[in-house]
Amino acid sequence: MCVGVPLKNDPQSTALKQRVGLSSYVCGGEQETPEEIMTVNGSVRPQIEIAPGERQFWRFVNASADRYVDLQLEGQKFEIVAMDGEPIAHHDPDHRTRVADHVLLPPAGRLEAIVTGPAAGMPQRLISRCVDTGPDGDPNPAMVLADIVPRSAADSTRKISQSSLKLISKHWTSQPKKKRLHDSS
**1 band by pLDDT with thresholds 50, 70 and 90:** low
Distance CA 60, CA 63 (A): 9
Evaluate if residue 171 carries a pLDDT over 70. no
CA-CA distance, 101 to 55, in Å (whole number)? 16
Specify the higher pLDDT residue, 146 or 184: 146
pLDDT computed for residue 52 by the predictor:
92
Cα–Cα dist 80/77, whole Å: 9
- CA dist 113 and 168 (Å) reads 29
Write down the pLDDT at residue 158: 46
| Torsion region of 94: left, alpha or beta (phi above 0 gives left; psi -120 to 50 gives alpha) | alpha
Kindly indicate the confidence band of residue 112, based on its pLDDT and cuts at 50, 70 and 90. very high
Tell me which CATH homologous superfamily contains domain 2-151: Cupredoxins -  blue copper proteins (2.60.40.420)
Higher pLDDT, 9 or 54: 54
Which pLDDT score, from 0 to 100, does residue 177 have? 44
What is the secondary structure of 60-110 as a DSSP string? Answer: EEB--SS--EEEEETTS-EEEEEETTEEHHHH-TT-S-EEESEEEE-TT-E
pTM, 2 dp: 0.73
Longest dimension (CA), the chain: 81
For residue 163, what pLDDT band results from cuts at 50, 70 and 90? very low
What's the DSSP call for residue 86?
E
The residue ranges of every structural domain in the chain are 2-151
Query: Residue type for 134, please?
Result: G
